[in-house]
Amino acid sequence: MSATAQAEMLPKVPPMRIVPQSNWLRIDFGELWHFRELLYFFVWRDVKVRYKQTVVGAAWAVLQPFLTMLVFTLFFARLAHIPVGGMPATIFYYSALLPGMYFSSSLLNATNTIVENQRVITKVYFPRLVLPLAATLSGLVDFGISFLMFVAMMIYYGIRPTYAILFFPLFLLLALLTALGFGLWLAAMNAIYRDVRYVVPFLMQFWMFASPVVYPSSIVPERWRWLYGLNPMAGVIEGFRWSLSGRGEPPGKMIIASSLMVLAVLAGGVAYFQRMETTIADVV
């Protein structure tokens, strides 16, 4: 086959210019779409490797939130009598642990993603955004498995979902964007400052107590609720609780504050990440 015949078969790609600086405020969605299969393979790799390296495999995704839920129920609900918003304590905690654990594991994975893939990064080009994106997406598999446990619990308690469940996908999306937004910042920072990854687990502990995991956000005075919502996980967790159990009240003002915060973090994260991306291969 001659060169020209070959070239005619393939769609022409526009000429690519290599220049010193990129426009780091712009996301090239066309390029991301072009690399969607690679994104899929990175997610697939993360999931495969994670389950191959563990003894109990997928059961881990259930055990972790379930055992945590039992401990919380015993200490916070039974012994400390912290209010649980008019629902079974187990449901109260588990519905918060679902997004909480997804968030912390995705964030940790996203933080490490540039450093862990440094060999690939220094040998082949692809939009680096694919890596933290894959880290946050692959966390959804664990999330899905632990969600099945939640469904079983709902059936056990005979709780029927209400119309509120229709909002659940939005809260899940908000959780994903929260993890991605902060993940972009931390991934970029970790590439430059290697001890960021040790800070993150520590950070997550504080974050959990700053979020309504073991207590309802109703203990925060009404007029400070929007400020509390600037922690996007507060909005996400209350949203999960309300949409899944159908009890309590919709998170209203809090979710607006959380959404705006996430958009700001995400936009800043993309810009910071892409700025770092231009020098990443020289640093890692």
Partner 1 sequence: MGPVVIQADGLGKRYRIGQRQPYLALRDLIGRALGAPARMLSKNGNGSGGKEKNFVWALKDVSFDIQEGEVVGLIGRNGAGKSTLLKILARITRPTEGSAEIHGRVGSLLEVGTGFHPELTGRENVYLSGAILGMKKAEIDRKFDEIVAFSEVERFLDTPLKHYSSGMQMRLAFAVAAHLEPEILLIDEVLAVGDLAFQKKCLGKMGDVARTGRTIVFVSHQMNQIRRLCGRVLWMEGGKIRETGPAATTVGDFEAAMTSKSDTSIHGSENAKAIFVRWEIMEPRSDEANVLRTMGEVKIKFVVQVRRPVKMAQHGVSLRNSDNQLIWALATDHIDLEVGEQEFCYTFPSLPVRPGAYSWHVSLYEEGDQLDAWDCMPAMNVATENYQHARDEWNGVLNVPCEFAIEEGMKVGS
One-letter amino acid for residue 116 of the chain = E
Rounded Cα gap, residues 175 and 181, in angstroms: 10
Q: Which is nearer to partner 1, 126 or 168 (CB)?
A: 126
Candidate list 151, 155, 210, 283; residue touching partner 1; CB under 8 A: 283
Q: Which is nearer to partner 1, 134 or 257 (CB)?
A: 134
Question: Are the CB atoms for 251 and 216 separated by under 8 Å?
Answer: no
Question: Are the CB atoms for 84 and 122 separated by under 8 Å?
Answer: no
| Least distance CB 211 / partner 1 (angstroms) | 24
Instruction: Answer yes or no whether residue 23 interacts with partner 1 by CB under 8 A.
Output: no
Instruction: Answer yes or no whether residue 120 interacts with partner 1 by CB under 8 A.
Output: yes
| Least distance CB 14 / partner 1 (angstroms) | 9
Number of residues that bind partner 1 (CB under 8 A): 45
Candidate list 26, 45, 78, 160; residue touching partner 1; CB under 8 A: 45
User: Which pair of tokens denotes residue 221?
Assistant: 């005075």
Closest CA to 189 of 107, 105, 259, 119: 107
Backbone conformation region of residue 82, classed left if phi is above 0, alpha if psi is from -120 to 50, else beta: beta
Instruction: Answer yes or no whether residue 24 interacts with partner 1 by CB under 8 A.
Output: no
Backbone conformation region of residue 50, classed left if phi is above 0, alpha if psi is from -120 to 50, else beta: alpha
Instruction: Answer yes or no whether residue 55 interacts with partner 1 by CB under 8 A.
Output: no
Contacts with partner 1, 174-203, as mask; x by CB under 8 A = ------------------xxxxx--x----
Candidate list 25, 26, 49, 263; residue touching partner 1; CB under 8 A: 49
Q: Which is nearer to partner 1, 179 or 280 (CB)?
A: 280
Residue partners of 246: CB distance under 8 A and separation at least 6: 159, 160, 161, 162, 164, 165
| Least distance CB 16 / partner 1 (angstroms) | 5
Q: Which is nearer to partner 1, 155 or 283 (CB)?
A: 283
Q: Which is nearer to partner 1, 14 or 221 (CB)?
A: 14
Rounded Cα gap, residues 110 and 74, in angstroms: 32
Rounded Cα gap, residues 92 and 83, in angstroms: 10
Closest CA to 233 of 202, 201, 187, 265: 265
Chain positions contacting partner 1, by CB under 8 A: 1-4, 6-7, 10, 13, 15-22, 37-38, 40-41, 44-45, 48-49, 52-53, 119-126, 192-196, 199, 278-279, 281-283
